[in-house]
Amino acid sequence: MRRVIASGFAAVALSLGMAATPAQAANPYTPSEADFADCPAKPAGASGWTCFVMTALDGQFRLKNMKVRITSPYRLTIGQGTVNGAKVAVLGSLKGDPMPFVTGILGTPLEIPDPTGWQVKIEATGQVSPGVLLPSKVGLKARLIGDGLGPNCYIGSNAAPVVISPRVQWTLPWLVDGKLLTQAKAYDDVFAIDWATGCESQLPNVLIGAANATSNHFDVTWAIRHKTL
């Protein structure tokens, strides 16, 4: 019976022109010197200053009841080292394209674009804290994009960011085109989000709304490169 229901959902999706795709798909990535284009400058007096570049190969965000797959190779660049005896980190950039919210088809590994048609673009707020291989904290905001939402519909802000604390699940060495990288799986399943602001519709707060720290989830597989400056 479940297979019949799932087949029905798939048929409806196709009839509506929605492309059903597998839940996981790797983002294209080839390492190059351009990876380091946004490395922040070494501060005066800094020692051990290293630029870390993390390119998303795949992953997902769940904001309470809505989910987005990381289908754009988002690239997070930070610099970190020691300045006057203290560990510091500086944001270089976070770059990536808008990504659609998705809905799973019951009983299958397939997903279709969410009926809202919304997309989300993840932006950095500037907050970053040093870690060992990954930053220990990153401040983010999510711009919601869709009909009737307006140009400034955000979850999180520069003043009140959504703070992600990536925790490493595993790391592996990875050789690509003769370059040695690190591949790492990181996640955070304890972070809060506040009400969306700046939207021309209240629908985001109806469908997503504020959510406590255990209602959200983030995981990503990163290709990590580093360079000591």
What's the pLDDT at 9?
A: 36
Task: State the pairing for strand pair 162-164/137-145.
Answer: antiparallel
pLDDT of amino acid 5: 33
DSSP 8-state symbol, 148: T
3-class DSSP state for residue 131? coil
Query: Would you list the DSSP string of 52-77?
Result: EEEEEEEEEEEETTEEEE--S--EEE
**Tokens encoding 152:** 């400034």
Report the predicted TM-score, pTM, of the whole model to 2 decimal places. 0.85
Mean pLDDT by 10 residues, the chain (229 residues): 36 40 66 96 94 96 91 95 94 96 81 92 96 92 96 96 95 92 95 95 92 89 94
81 contacts 60 by C-beta, under 8 angstroms: no
* Domains and their CATH numbers in the chain: 37-104+115-228 (2.40.128)
